[in-house]
C-alpha cells in the first residue's frame, strides 16, 4: 500500500503475541504485513517462542521494542500498559499449551497477563500438531475460549512440521490473519449483517472449443470491493469471471465463464442482496452460433456473426430486493459524463463509477484507479484522485453506506 497505509490499520496499535510453535516463523511475515499496512505493532513473545524465533527479528520488522518477561525491572507494569494501548490483540500461533493456559485464565507470563488485562478484541490463531488439535481437551479449550468472547481462527489443512505429513494443524497464512485483524479493527458500520453481492472480472464468449471473445478486465476492482465489504462486517458473495487475482478472505464465491452464466448467478442471488455492486466487465456480444468443432483456416476472410448478450443489470432489475443500493460501473472513451448519466437511468442505478478507458494508471489490469462518482440526484459528480484500488473501494463503500443510512 502507499505511505499513508491501509484502512483500518493506519496508526492503530496491534499487540501481536507469539507462543512457542514452529509456525512462529510465519508470524514474522504477519508482523511485516501489519507494519506495512500502517499499524504500530507491539510484539510479546512467550519464553517458548524465543526457542523458535528471536526478538531481534521482530524488532527489525516492527521498528519497536519486543517484550518478553513479566518481571523486567522498570517494566513491571508492561502488561497493563500494552493491554490498555492495544486496539486489537492477536496471538499467532496460539499453541495447544497457550490455549490451555488462556482457557484457565492463568497470568503467569506477560502474554497471558495481557489477555486478562485487555478490553480490546482478541484473535487467537491456532496452530499445532494435528493430533493435538483433534484432542478432546484442546477442543474443549477452544469452545471455552470462544464462549469467553475470543475469536478463534482454526488451523488449516496442510503440511505440518517435517516428518509429520499433513493435516488440520497448520497456522492460517499471514494475509488471511491480516484480513481478520482488519475486520476486528473496523469501526461499527451499517454493513454489519448486510448482504453484499459483487461481480468482478471479464466474461468469455466461446467461438469454438479453443477460442473466445473477452476483454482485459482483471477483476482487481471488484475483488477490492468484496474484500472491503467483508472487512466492514457484510456477508459477501462474489460472482466472478476468469479473474487474475485471488478471491478475498471470508467471501463466498462462484466462478462463471459467459455473460449468460453471470446473469444466472446474479439472478439467483440478487433477491437477498442489500447492496449490488456490478463491477464486472461482461462481454456485450457473443458468437451467434459457436462451433462445436475447432474452426479451421480456409485461406480466406471469415465473418463471425455476433449477437448481444443479456444485460445483467437490466434483466435482473425486477428481482432486486426492495430498497437495495445498486452500483454500476462505466468504462468510457468518449462523452464520459453523458454516458455515465445515461447508464444511471437506463440500468436503475444509485451510483455510477466512471473511469476513462485510456487514462494511464486507471482501468483494467493496474492496481490504481481514478474514478468519478456519479450519484442519482446529486448536483455534481465527485472526482477522486488517482488511488490504490483498495482506497477506491473504500471511497465507493463510504457512499454506499451513506445511501443505506438514508433509506
Ligand atoms: N453490465 C451488465 N450486463 C452487461 C454489460 C454490462 O450488467 N451485459 C453492467 C456492467 O457491469 C457495468 C454497467 O453495466 O456495471 C455498465 O457497463 P458498460 O460495459 O460500461 O456499459 P454497456 O451497458 O455495455 O454499454 P456500452 O457498451 O454502450 O458502453
Q: pLDDT, tens digit, for every residue of 276-333?
A: 999 999 999 999 999 999 999 999 999 999 999 999 999 999 999 999 999 999 998 8
- Confidence band (pLDDT; 50, 70, 90) for 188? very high
313 lines ligand 1 (CB under 6 A): yes
pLDDT of residue 3: 43
CA dihedral 142, 144, 149, 151 (to 10 degrees): 0
What string of H, E and C letters represents the secondary structure of 255-314? Answer: ECCCHHHHHHHHHCCHHHCCEEEECCECCCEEECCCCCCCCCCCCCCCCCCEEECCCHHH
Write down the catalytic residue from 215, 339, 355, 405. Answer: 215
What's the mean pLDDT when you consider all of the chain?
95
Any ligand 1 atom below 6 A from CB of 261:
no
> Does 280 contact ligand 1 (Cβ within 6 A)?
yes
- Indicate the range of 119-128, 148-157, 364-373 predicted with least confidence: 364-373
Task: Set out the domains of the chain in order of their start, with CATH numbers.
Answer: 13-185 (3.40.50.1950), 195-286+302-405 (3.40.50.10300)
**What pLDDT digit, counting tens, does each position of 207-219 carry?**
999 999 999 999 9
**Which cell numbers hold the place of 102?**
488462556
For the Cβ of 66 lying below 6 angstroms from any atom of ligand 1, the answer is no
Q: How far does the centroid of ligand 1 lie from the alpha carbon of residue 265, in Å?
A: 16
Q: Any catalytic annotation for residue 293? A: no
Which tens digits make up the pLDDT trace of 277-286? Answer: 999 999 999 9
Amino acid at each position: 500500500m502507499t505511505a499513508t497505509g491501509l484502512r483500518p490499520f493506519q496508526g492503530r496499535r496491534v499487540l501481536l503475541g507469539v507462543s512457542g510453535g514452529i509456525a512462529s516463523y510465519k508470524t514474522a511475515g504477519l508482523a511485516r504485513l501489519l507494519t506495512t499496512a500502517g499499524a504500530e505493532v507491539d510484539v510479546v513473545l512467550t519464553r517458548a517462542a524465543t526457542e523458535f524465533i528471536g526478538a531481534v527479528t521482530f524488532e527489525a520488522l516492527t521498528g519497536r521494542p519486543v517484550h518478553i518477561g513479566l518481571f523486567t525491572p522498570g517494566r513491571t507494569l508492561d502488561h497493563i500498559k500494552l493491554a490498555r494501548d492495544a486496539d486489537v490483540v492477536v496471538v499467532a500461533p496460539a499453541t495447544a499449551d497457550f490455549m490451555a493456559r488462556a482457557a484457565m485464565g492463568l497470568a503467569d507470563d506477560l502474554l497471558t497477563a495481557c489477555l486478562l488485562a485487555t478490553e480490546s478484541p482478541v484473535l487467537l490463531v491456532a496452530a499445532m500438531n494435528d493430533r493435538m488439535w483433534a484432542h478432546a481437551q484442546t477442543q474443549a479449550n477452544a469452545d471455552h475460549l470462544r464462549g469467553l468472547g475470543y475469536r478463534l481462527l482454526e488451523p488449516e489443512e496442510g503440511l505440518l512440521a517435517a516428518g509429520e505429513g499433513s493435516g488440520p494443524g497448520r497456522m492460517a497464512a499471514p494475509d488471511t490473519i491480516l484480513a481478520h485483524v482488519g475486520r476486528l479493527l473496523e469501526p461499527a458500520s451499517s454493513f454489519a449483517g448486510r448482504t453484499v453481492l459483487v461481480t468482478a472480472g471479464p466474461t468469455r464468449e466461446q467461438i469454438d472449443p479453443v477460442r473466445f471473445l473477452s476483454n482485459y478486465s482483471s477483476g482487481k476492482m471488484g475483488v477490492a470491493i468484496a474484500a472491503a465489504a467483508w472487512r466492514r462486517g457484510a456477508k459477501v458473495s462474489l460472482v466472478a469471471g476468469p479473474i487474475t487475482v485471488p478471491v478475498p478472505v471470508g467471501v463466498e464465491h462462484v466462478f462463471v465463464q459467459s455473460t449468460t452464466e453471470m446473469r444466472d448467478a446474479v439472478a439467483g442471488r440478487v433477491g437477498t442482496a442489500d447492496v449490488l455492486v456490478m463491477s464486472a466487465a461482461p462481454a456485450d456480444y457473443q458468437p451467434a452460433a459457436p462451433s462445436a468443432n475447432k474452426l479451421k483456416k480456409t485461406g480466406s476472410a471469415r465473418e463471425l456473426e455476433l449477437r448481444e448478450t443479456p444485460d445483467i443489470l437490466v434483466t435482473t432489475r425486477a428481482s432486486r430486493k426492495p430498497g437495495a443500493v445498486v452500483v454500476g460501473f462505466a468504462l468510457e472513451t468518449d462523452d464520459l459524463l453523458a454516458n455515465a448519466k445515461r447508464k444511471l437511468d437506463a440500468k436503475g442505478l444509485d451510483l455510477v463509477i466512471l473511469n476513462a478507458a485510456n487514462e494511464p494508471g486507471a482501468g483494467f489490469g493496474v492496481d490504481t484507479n481514478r474514478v468519478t462518482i456519479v450519484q442519482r440526484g446529486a448536483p455534481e459528480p465527485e472526482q477522486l484522485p488517482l488511488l490504490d484500488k483498495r482506497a477506491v473501494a473504500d471511497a465507493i463503500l463510504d457512499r454506499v453506506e451513506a445511501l443505506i443510512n438514508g433509506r
